[in-house]
Structure 1
């Protein structure tokens, strides 16, 4: 029997264009044999079999990646991003842009708006970048009017703006407290009020992602009003998940803890900021190991990845939920790995650490 080796058959098998390979090869490749065919010599040598396995494996990986691409696809969607000039907001903007989302963003940092917008346009995205203070209702309304004219409709809203300074409640003025409430809860109400009609106009529902904080889930000295405002955002969002569900609009939250950013650094008051300035990076690494189960804080990109998930159809049945992106800190509230106690994990230090601290 004369047999001609045909390398393209390898590609045909790997691409699954043959329903059952009518080929034979050496004994170590019997998984691709048709048992009804028994030619006296192998069609492929061992290296051919290795190639076949490699390409079939690559095809399988490609198929699996295709599932993620299809179910997580955001290409062509339109988003409103409140706070996209720097830090977490900028990371979210760029992640959405890389995923093919067109974006309308506002912030009070003109230079940051210009930089983020330029990077998004370089990705081929349609961008509306506008100076607007989200905590000022008139400016927020003007931004949404501009967005309606620019996009007509949207499929995604991400409210990132927030923050405070660390200070005992008794030292904060009424104005300070009012600002904390507006910056971390009040504007979210107005942003969603403006966004819902635009989400409805798109005709296919959509997703709202609000940023809350771990402080909304624990007693946080020095952040009392901020924590209360974020807790209000959390429960308001859950209520809106119920109200907007029939419209196909999902509402979820992301709760970070410590995320390295200029904003978080600025929240620390003097004299602690001066003390921190002298602490080398390795000390901070050890500090994070003490209280974060994954032993490192999430990056801004990690938070952006969570937005991508909640915005996509991968989360199409997820609404009214808080996604803690914090390295596990919320799961271990109050538990610390004390450095001189042989790995003990407790809310208070044991003898080894106590001797180091007070001995």
Structure 2
């Protein structure tokens, strides 16, 4: 199947996007699907985002039904899925994009924070997939689920311990569900991004982290990215959405149980940073960088 044919085939499909009305990525997913002619049913807990996304989708010639729901609350998410079931007899695409990340030493966290991180990054996805399953099976023609995860699901992400564990659970849940649903031609995949423009808006870094970077000048964060991301820049939101569109289109008809890393190469490098002062790619700085730091 060619690229144009695959994208034309998306027109008329029905997608549910959990967390699809606000934020760089969630809003981008909804607009990206709408641009392809997909009818979107989205939920979010951001009322301003809900109000704004409707005219944006309509300006693209698309159709959207936007609902207020909080994935942190089981009853609220169930009520949204009740509304989806009443509105449509089938779902072709499910995207679970909502999430929450906050940087803390594990010793400084609480059980309430642990429960929040697990709910927001794993448990609601299980609930959403379970509620969606009858609708995903309804057409008998297959469907696609994409669960947003992260590079932190694949490495020892200190100061993100419970978040990383929850995302790892999502990743393996996705693999297992892909095996169960293979005969139904319901494909289940993960999309793992890393540093994007959205990262600055979701409390991944604390206020003091941004303050220290600000003291170094407005280009400091970009300079840090050059050490960390092999491509020397993070993926744009649009490039993340391109990955999503691949996973939900017929171009990936036999891709299931996989994680697509849209990250500029950081998951390939696994900690090999491009240190300055002539040190080059190594897990730890060598003489050039250390001399600079000591100076």
Using the size of structure 1 for normalisation, the TM-score is: 0.79
**Equivalent in the alignment of 1:358:** 294
Tell me, yes or no, if the aligned pair for 2:153 and 2:165 is still in contact at 8 Å.
yes
Q: Which runs of 4+ in 1 moved over 6 A?
A: none
Q: Secondary structure at the match of 1:323?
A: strand
Whether the aligned pair in 1 keeps the contact of 2:13 and 2:39 (CA below 8 Å) is yes
State the alpha-carbon separation in 2 of the partners of residues 223 and 316 from structure 1.
34
Pairwise CA RMSD: 1.4
What is the CA-CA distance between 1:124 and the residue it aligns to?
2.1
Query: Which residue of the partner structure matches residue 76 of structure 1?
Result: 12
Aligned length: 293
Contact kept, 8 Å, 1:98 with 1:123, in 2: the verdict is yes
* Residue of structure 1 equivalent to 2:125: 188
TM-score under structure 2 normalisation?
A: 0.95
Which structure is larger by alpha-carbon Rg, 1 or 2? Answer: 1
Tell me whether 309-318 or 118-127 shows the greater mean CA deviation.
Answer: 118-127
Which residue of structure 2 aligns with residue 142 of structure 1?
79
Q: By how many angstroms is 1:139 displaced?
A: 0.8
Q: Verify: 1:179 aligned to 2:116, yes or no.
A: yes
**Alpha-carbon shift at residue 152 of structure 1 (Å):** 1.9
Q: Deviations over 1:283-309 (max 9, x none)?
A: 222211112111100111111111100
Hey, what does 2:191 align to over in structure 1? 254
Which residues in structure 2 correspond to 1:1-359 (within 5 Å)? 67-73=2-8, 74-84=10-20, 85-261=22-198, 264=201, 266-341=203-278, 344-359=280-295
How far the C-alpha of 1:280 sits from its partner, in A, is: 2.9
Give unmatched runs, 5+ long, in structure 1: 1-65
Higher relative contact order (CA 8 A, sep 6+): 2
Alpha carbons of structure 1 residues 297 and 197: separation in structure 2 relative to 1, 3 Å:
same
1:158: how far off?
A: 0.2
Does structure 1 retain, via aligned residues, the 8 Å contact 2:140–2:184?
Answer: no
Partners of 1:198 and 1:234 in 2: how far apart?
22
Secondary structure of residue in 2 paired with 1:212: strand
CA-CA distance at 1:202 after TM superposition: 2.2
